[in-house]
Amino acid sequence: DAGVIQSPRHEVTEMGQEVTLRCKPISGHDYLFWYRQTMMRGLELLIYFNNNVPIDDSGMPEDRFSAKMPNASFSTLKIQPSEPRDSAVYFCASSPTSGYNEQFFGPGTRLTVL
């Protein structure tokens, strides 16, 4: 079975540019999560969706960040305009509806903003 798929794996861009990160969750999973990981702040939950509907976006750092889930098999995280402090590894994870809430992580997108 394919796991969570993220693209691109690496992204290098210049400050002020728009960045779009993509995620395909595991088929049949109802929950999708976006995380950011940095050395300074560790792993942070940005937003999560249930059945394509955003449930909690309290972790989204600023209005420059937005996330969408147009259907059950695709989600995007967009940063516009990007800034150097957005440099991080961004993970997508998905989870089935269950009592134990185990999450399955993608390989991540390493974003560098120059």
Q: Which is nearer to another protein, 45 or 81 (CB)?
A: 45
42 lies in the site for another protein, by CB under 8 A:
yes
Residue type, position 58, single letter? S
Among 20, 45, 66, 76, binds another protein (CB under 8 A): 45
Among 8, 43, 51, 80, binds another protein (CB under 8 A): 43
Q: Which is nearer to another protein, 70 or 99 (CB)?
A: 99
Judge contact between 87 and 112, C-beta under 8 A: yes
Q: From residue 101, how far is each of 29, 67, 74, 90, 96 by CA, in Å? A: 11, 22, 20, 20, 7
